[in-house]
Structure formats: structure tokens, C-alpha cells
Amino acid sequence: DGGITQSPKYLFRKEGQNVTLSCEQNLNHDAMYWYRQDPGQGLRLIYYSQIVNDFQKGDIAEGYSVSREKKESFPLTVTSAQKNPTAFYLCASRRGQADEQYFGPGTRLTVT
């Protein structure tokens, strides 16, 4: 089955620690995206990548980093510089410019 996987579903970390969220897709999509969702708010774009070895900052990139070494994978690292990291994180991919984005199941990150 083709799709997007995110692991783990729930993640707990202590303040001051970096943490990496996994996102893998086997849809052969070129573009991949990371969003953050907070209660009562819509999705906000953190980073996106249109092609391997290239990525751009979204609207709220501060405190986050990404890499795109393989087409299938787009991991997101939440660094200790992110002031309020507790949130629900969604990964998405898209085949072409006119196509909709397909979403993974999300990872709920809690930092205490």
C-alpha cells in the first residue's frame, strides 16, 4: 500500500533535548512538507522540500531543521531553540504542482 508514515505516534521529551520526527513516503512524490498544528489553530508550515537535497523555510521555521537526502524521507528535528515545541506535527507530500497534498497520521510531541 502506498502512503505516508510518521513515527512514532506519541513522543515525549525533556526540555533542552533535540528530537527528530520521522516521515517516510512511498508514493514517489517529489515535494514534502512539515506542518505544526496547535489547539484552535489551523496548520502552519514549518519547512518544505520540492526536490531531493533542497528545502525552504516555511512560516514558522525558527527552532526547527530538516534534511532531504532521499526522495522518500523528510525528517524534522525539533531543536532546543524551539520555545514551545509541544504540538501535533503533520507531514505531507505532493506529486505535482496542481495536486493535493497527502498527509501522514501525525506525531504528537510533548516536551516537559
Partner 1 sequence: AQTVTQSQPEMSVQEAETVTLSCTYDTSENNYYLFWYKQPPSRQMILVIRQEAYKQQNATENRFSVNFQKAAKSFSLKISDSQLGDTAMYFCAFLSNAGGTSYGKLTFGQGTILTVHP
Chain residues binding partner 1 by CB under 8 A are 31, 33, 40-45, 48, 50, 56, 58, 88, 90, 92, 94, 97-98, 100-103, 105-106
Burial class (CB in 10 A: 0-12, 13-18, 19+), 25: buried
Shorter beta-carbon distance to partner 1: residue 80 or 102: 102
Shorter beta-carbon distance to partner 1: residue 13 or 44: 44
Question: Whole-number minimum distance, CB 80 to partner 1, in Å?
Answer: 26
Shorter beta-carbon distance to partner 1: residue 80 or 103: 103
65 with 54: CB under 8 angstroms? no
Q: Which residues pair with 6 in a beta bridge?
A: 23
Q: Cis peptide leading into 105, omega within 30 of 0?
A: no
Question: Whole-number minimum distance, CB 2 to partner 1, in Å?
Answer: 15
Torsion sign across C-alpha atoms 59, 100, 95, 71: positive
Amino acid identity of 20? T
Question: Whole-number minimum distance, CB 76 to partner 1, in Å?
Answer: 16
Question: Whole-number minimum distance, CB 72 to partner 1, in Å?
Answer: 18
